[in-house]
Amino acid sequence: MTCLAFQITSDDVECVLHSYSLRVTDTKGQSFEQMAEELIEELDHERIEQAALAASTELDEQTAAAYEEIKKSLVELGVLEF
């Protein structure tokens, strides 16, 4: 298993859900916090972390890249609609 310096949390997923709240397809009555706790298990953490680390050595830029990759993943999972 690869140990990376950048790791995503359910808070990161929740932040992305809030950022695209009008694009969420169906909450099934769950809060974004509940959704994030479930979705974190379905995401490819290594893919997201690699995108963050490839973006920059600056934390803000890494976070922005990770959020963009989380967004892409949520679109692929059908959680966000674009």
Domain boundaries, the chain: 33-82
Pairwise CA distance, residues 73 & 61, whole Å:
18
The pLDDT tens digits for 36-46 are 999 999 999 99
Neighbour-count burial of 52, counting CB atoms closer than 10 A to its CB (0-12 exposed, 13-18 middle, 19+ buried): buried
Average pLDDT over the chain, rounded to whole?
Answer: 93
Residues 58-73 have a mean pLDDT of 96
Does residue 41 or residue 4 have the better pLDDT?
A: 41
For residue 7, the model assigns a pLDDT of 87
